[in-house]
Amino acid sequence: MVQLDMVGYTLGMGSTDVRSAQGPSHIAKWLELNCAWPIVWHGMFGDTTAARQMQALGDIQDACQSLAQVTQQLTLSQKRWVACGGDHSAAIGTWSGAASAIDGPLGLIWFDAHLDAHTPETSHTKNIHGMPIACLLGHGPAELTAIQNPHPKLKPEHIHYIGVRDYEAEEMDFVRSQGVNLYPIEAVQTHGFSNVLTQVCRDLQNTTVGFGLSFDVDGLDPSDAPGVATTVDNGMRWAEVAPAINQLFSHPKLVGLEIVEYNPDLDVDGKTLAIVTELLGYYWQSYHM
Ligand SMILES: [Mn+2]
C-alpha cells in the first residue's frame, strides 16, 4: 500500500492568533485513531516562542528552511506529499522546496480568501502569514526570499488565486502589476468552482512541469469551516469544492498539497477537522487510481 508522506509546520506566529500551530498535532492524532493508511511524518517544524510580526522572522525562516528541505527531497523522489500548517507563512517553505526540486516552472493554485501578497513595507499588521506570495515572487526580506536558492520560486503567470474576497489595496495593486491570475469569489460564483478549476488546470497543464495546491481553510465559507482565525463570509461551499478538488488530485502533474490555517481551538463540532481529513482521504485515494 502506498504511504502518505506528510510534514508538519507547527508555527502560528505568522498570524495574530498563534493557535494554528496546533493544527498538525490534531490532524496527526485523528489520522492515527481513525484511519488505516500508512502515514509517514517527515518532521514537525516550528517554534513556540513569543516572537511576533517581523520579530518572528528568524523563527519562520528556520521552520520554512526545514520544511523546504523535506518538500524538495520528496519532490525529487517523485513522491507526492502533504504539508500541513500552521499559518500560511508555511507556503514560503513548502513551495520554495518544491520549486527547487523540479526542472522547469512550478505552478500553484492558491485557494484562499486572501491575497497574502504583502511585503513588510505594505503590510498593515506586519504578520508574515500575509506575505508568502510576495516572498515566493522574490519580494520581501532575503531571509524568506532566498530559501533553498536566491531566485524567485514562482513566476506570476503560474500562480492562480481562487476565491479571493478580502484584501488591502496595496496587495491587489502588487498582484495586478505582477500579472498573477485571479479568480475572485464573484468569478467563482458566476462560473462555478468546478469550471474555474478546470480552466486553471488546463492552463497549468500547458505552462508548467508540475503544480501544487495551497489550500487555506479560510477559502471556505465559515459555516462549513469555522476553525480558522481569519474567517471571511461569502466563501466557497465545501459541497461544491470537494468533488472538483477530488478530481484535481488525479492530475498527473500535481506534486503536492498544502493545508494551512486550521485552528483547532476555534473549530465547532469538529466541522473543520472533518473537512481537512476528508480532503486528505481524497488525496490518498488518488494514488490508487
Ligand atoms: Mn492565506
pLDDT band at 1 (very low <50, low <70, confident <90, very high): confident
Q: Which residues does residue 269 pair with via DSSP β-bridges, in sequence order?
A: none
| pLDDT, mean of residues 255-283 | 98
| Residue for grid cell 492558491 | 110
Residue 289 has pLDDT above 60, yes or no: no
For 108-153, how does the pLDDT look when each residue is reduced to its tens digit (9 = 90+)? 999 999 999 999 999 999 999 999 999 999 999 999 999 999 999 9
Ligand 1 centroid to Cα of residue 74, in Å, is: 24
pLDDT digits (tens, 9 = 90+) for 9-67: 999 999 999 999 999 999 999 999 999 889 999 999 997 777 899 999 999 999 999 99
Pull the grid cell for residue 282. 481524497
Grid coordinates standing for 55? Answer: 520579530
Q: Break the chain into its structural domains and give their ranges.
A: 4-286
State in Å: Cα 155 to ligand 1 middle: 18
CA distance 94 to 107: 13
Ligand 1 centre to CA of 69 (Å) is 22
How far, CA to CA in Å, does 3 sit from each of 45, 72, 80, 250? Answer: 21, 18, 10, 16
Q: What is the pLDDT of residue 247?
A: 97
Residue 154 has pLDDT above 90, yes or no: yes
Q: How far apart are CA 288 and CA 30, in angstroms?
A: 22
Q: Which amino acid is at 36?
A: A
Question: Active-site residues: which are they?
Answer: 88, 112, 114, 116, 129, 216, 218, 261
Q: pLDDT tens-digit profile of 59-113?
A: 999 999 999 999 999 999 999 999 999 999 999 999 999 999 999 999 999 999 9
Fold of 4-286: Arginase; Chain A (3.40.800)
Question: Which of 136, 284, 108 shows the shortest CA–CA distance to 212?
Answer: 108
Query: Which residues have a Cβ under 8 Å from the Cβ of 157 and sit 6 or more positions away?
Result: 179, 180, 181, 207
Which ranges of 119-158 does DSSP label H, i.e. alpha helix?
132-136, 142-145
